[in-house]
Every structure is written in C-alpha cells, then in structure tokens.
Structure 1
C-alpha cells in the first residue's frame, strides 16, 4: 500500500461498499415490491425502487472490489442527496420519534463525496485490470 492516504480511502471504500450492498440486499429480501410501494407512497415512481436497490447491491460489490470507485461513489452521492431531501430532511438531523434523521445519510454522503473526489487505488481490482492493459499496450508499441 502506497501511503496512509490510500489506506484511509481503502477503509472508506470497503465500509461504504458493504453498507450499500447490505441495504440493497435487504430491499430484495424484504420484497422489492414492498419497497416500490413505499416509493409510490412518498410520491416517487415505484420503478425507481428497482434502480436504487440494484445500484446499492451492484455498486456496493463494485466498491468492495475496487471497480469504478469514483463513478459508483458519485452515483451514491446523488442517491444520498435524494434520500436526504425527499425522505429524511423533514425528520431533522436526529429524527422526530417516528423516523430516523439524516445523520447516517449525511455520513454516507460525505464518504461517497470523498471517494468520488480522490478514488481508491489500494487493493482495487480496476487498478490491476487497467495497469495490466496499459502495460500490454506499451509493450505492443515497442
């Protein structure tokens, strides 16, 4: 591992990926139709539940593996902004007794912003793939 900075990004990437993966998995295990119905009840098209759950599930795996970390993190930024504004903001930072607040969403948003800005190269699968492709391209030019 190159330095402490990369070690910190690795921790952020893996924890953020695991968190989103589990959230996506729960949406499918709990019945994605129920989640779609809840989306409808808050004024969002129900089909968005499928996209959100797939993004969380596949994006979570991609982050843990280190595939397209910046892109996936940027998508999670958009997802968390939507969740905070549409669902959690009215409940306040710590919640209102009926619903949790947006403190966790804000922490996940901050993690995703940090990763979308800086990326995460340590133990990242895309680093191995793209470095290999780049070295093959260079060797074929010689």
Structure 2
C-alpha cells in the first residue's frame, strides 16, 4: 500500500503545482500590475506584490519536482491566504450560480497545499521521502 500512498502524494503535488504555476506564468508574461494594484489598495508596501512570484512560480516548481515539497506547499498555502484576504474576502460566504461555494477553487488550492505540507512529497520525488522538508 505504500506505493499507492506515494503515488497519491505525487498526483497531489503535480496537479497543485501545475495549476498554480499557470497563474505564475501568466504573471511572468503580463507582469504583476494587478497584484501591485491590489497590494497598494490594501495600503501595503509594493514589494509585497513580488512575493507572488515565489508563491506562484518557485513554490509550484518545488512541488512538481518534489524538492522541499513541504516548504513549497506552506508557501502556496500562505499565498492563498493572502489572496483570499486581499481579493476574495467579500466572497467568503457566497455561493456561485451553480450552487457551490464561490471560492471552491481557492479553497481546494489551500486545502491541497495544507495536505501536502502535512503528508510530504513521498518517494516519487527528487528529494525522496526522507528529509524534514520533503
């Protein structure tokens, strides 16, 4: 059963990593303008906006590779909490037109990141199943 557990960890890591990385690549191509605006509107220093590159480019790559995967997952979880607080707070108790939670995607990203932080990368990873942060 350990093999299927490690395979499940691989699936969680790669799916979350790829999906979050799409957001990061978009910001690499289009720039951080939107995030800079949100951060400025919240009255925060503009350099904080550039943390999105760590949360949406560096951390997903760590997950996909399975290198420092727990750390990458924690960074993504923090990134999601910041996004929820700065962009989506008005939707926290809203439903979508389809009847589901308006923030189900963001909730799934956050929950999956927390699960990976707790479970680790598994043996199908660059870092292997050993190591505190993997």
Indicate if the aligned counterparts of 1:89 and 1:102 stay in contact, CA closer than 8 A: no
How is 1:1-142 mapped onto 2 (pairs within 5 angstroms)?
A: 2-92=2-92, 93-94=94-95, 101-127=102-128
Structure-1 separation of matches of 2:90 and 2:37? 20
Indicate if the aligned counterparts of 1:89 and 1:101 stay in contact, CA closer than 8 A: no
TM-align CA RMSD: 2.5
TM-score by length of 2: 0.80
Instruction: Write out per-residue CA displacement over residues 62-95 of structure 1, whole angstroms, 9 at most, x where no aligned residue.
Output: 1101110111111111221222233212124445
The structure with the greater share of residues assigned to helix is 1
> Would you say how many aligned residue pairs link Structure 1 and Structure 2?
127
The change in CA–CA distance for 1:23 and 1:94 in structure 2 (over 3 A counts) is: farther
The change in CA–CA distance for 1:28 and 1:94 in structure 2 (over 3 A counts) is: farther
Structure-1 separation of matches of 2:42 and 2:95? 20
| Residue ranges of structure 2 left out of the alignment (5+ in a row) | none
